[in-house]
């Protein structure tokens, strides 16, 4: 899987997502949820439609 970045509020910077999981939200959008490489806390990134289509293939 491709390396994804998300904003970590605790670290106040963009970090790489460790152990990324693709999830679907209640509003049927796709997102990636995982752990921060800096602090180990949970980080979350909503995917664009193009990224979601690419990952689902």
Q: Assign 38 to helix, strand or coil.
A: coil
pLDDT tens for 1-42 read 689 999 999 999 999 999 999 999 999 999 999 999 999 999
Question: What pLDDT is recorded for position 1?
Answer: 67
User: Where in the chain are the domains?
Assistant: 5-56
**25-31 own/partner pairs: CB under 8 Å, 24+ apart:** 30/55, 30/56
């Amino acid at each position: 899987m491709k390396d994804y970045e998300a904003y970590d509020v605790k670290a106040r910077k963009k970090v790489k997502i460790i152990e990324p999981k693709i999830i679907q939200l209640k509003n049927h959008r796709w997102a990636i949820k995982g752990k921060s490489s800096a602090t180990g806390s949970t980080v979350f990134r909503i995917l664009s439609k193009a990224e979601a289509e690419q990952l689902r293939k």
